[in-house]
Amino acid sequence: MRATANNGGYRDRRSMKHVLDNVHGYIYLDPLFLQFIDTEQFQRLRDLKQLGLTHMVYPGAAHSRFEHSLGVYWLAGEAVNKVNFYQGQELGIEEFDRNTVKLAGLLHDIGHGPFSHMFEREFLPRVLDGYEWSHEDMSLKMIDYIVDKHCIDIDSAILKTAKEMILASSEHGPQKSMTEKHFLYDIVANGRTEIDVDKFDYIVRDSRACGIGSGFQFERLMETMRVMDDEICYRANEYLTLHKLFATRADLHRTVYTHPKVKAIELMVVDALCYANADLGIAASIQKPSEFWKLDDSILKWIETSDSDSPSLKEAKNLIQRIRKRDLYQYCNQFSVPKDKLENFKDITPQDIICSQKSGGVTLKEEDVAVSTVKIDLTHGRMNPLERINFFKDYDSSEKFRIPDDRISHLLPRFFQDRIVRVYAKKPELVEAVAEAFENYQVKTYGCKAQVHATPDKKKARKQLEYQYQTDRQ
């Protein structure tokens, strides 16, 4: 038998390839999409770890954006197939729709920089003086570059619409060229409710890779979703499943993506890239897709093994070697910004910390301190994301409605955002001084110490002893 069945009809297996994915099982790749996959620009995603530097704390988190992109491609197709299976006659799903959504899923991260979101959120703003750049916008440029360079034969309408879908969750997304079936724009990057197959894939994939487990089941949502008034809606009895989606994502941010040691390593890598930028033109690569695709996680190895006499590259190299030896910036302490201060909160800088130092002892300098501010929410800032979702009673019902959370459970949260401020000492012998200045800052700003407990004395003493030992050896 040469054909394989799916919810969209039959496909000739002679022209398809399949791969075995550790999350979704067999993924089938059609010739249209293989034109993109079998390019050096898409294969570059193998050299971008999905979770950036997280593997240095969670060793299993070594999966790549290549795997994730194939996963989103597959789930995007499955989502369209599900809708088509149950509502195809009503909605008029066509092959054009299926191919467009799958292409958007496949290429949504093609413009991603190295080290996950650190590249665009931490490194570029520092070296380009606050310049705003997004990997979604870069994805569109990369798509055009790939099509031109490899002479890919594709319907221009599919390409245009797929690019619109990639930007669908962006604040400045383009106007939709499709005059109907706008629900298709919500499958890969959902700007309306934030429920999309991108999250379905990375929540399950990242949880599995890090070994932390996940009770979230996207399959339930895929099976029960329904299009009503050109919008994807969900059965009312799936309210808690949707809450678990957002809560699991927040837990991943808290325990994995923003782990204190992960952030320490990120801070060091940002400093290293800033030192190396002038010599290597790292930031300049974002201007040309022909240069950008050459940039991946291997930039650290290039810096580390460089024989250049450049003082800046030597500083970058020293920082990377410190990471290899686990001589990290030292986490001193953290506090969660009080709820009543969140609305007017401004990022805290190293200057704020050193200005809070009392006289006597070590005199801190701005370059001795690193501050990381972590924002964790349920995708909708301080608001409940489930307030934006429309539900339906059952499949006989034609009415959609919102559900106040107090109608479901009194155990659900009443607040939906945290901002956590962490401070690090760049040298181990400065842990005590930085920790004390951090405490002084809290008292001066909030009238009390907002941190849970003081920095352990053992940590301060241990770091001083380690520094003395290393100094004696030298």
Active-site residue set? 135
φ, ψ of residue 310 in degrees (nearest 5): -60, 125
Q: How many other CB atoms are there within 10 angstroms of residue 230's CB atom?
A: 13
* Half-sphere exposure of residue 315: CA atoms within 13 angstroms, side-chain side: 14
* Half-sphere exposure of residue 352: CA atoms within 13 angstroms, side-chain side: 17
Q: How many other CB atoms are there within 10 angstroms of residue 430's CB atom?
A: 23
Number of residues in the chain: 474
φ, ψ of residue 359 in degrees (nearest 5): -65, 155
* Half-sphere exposure of residue 11: CA atoms within 13 angstroms, side-chain side: 17
Nearest to 169 by CA among 136, 132, 120, 147: 136
Strand pairing category for 231-235 and 17-21: unpaired
- Give exposure, 275-301, as e/b (b: 16+ Cβ within 10 Å): bbbeebebbebbeebeebbebbbebbe
Beta-bridge partners for 234: 391
Torsion of CA 377, 378, 381, 383, to 10 degrees: -130
Question: In this structure, are residues 56 and 323 in contact, taking their beta carbons and an 8 Å threshold?
Answer: yes
> Which helix (H) or strand (E) is 374 found in, with range?
strand 369-377
Q: How far is CA 186 from CA 170, 240, 249, 368, in A?
A: 12, 20, 18, 45
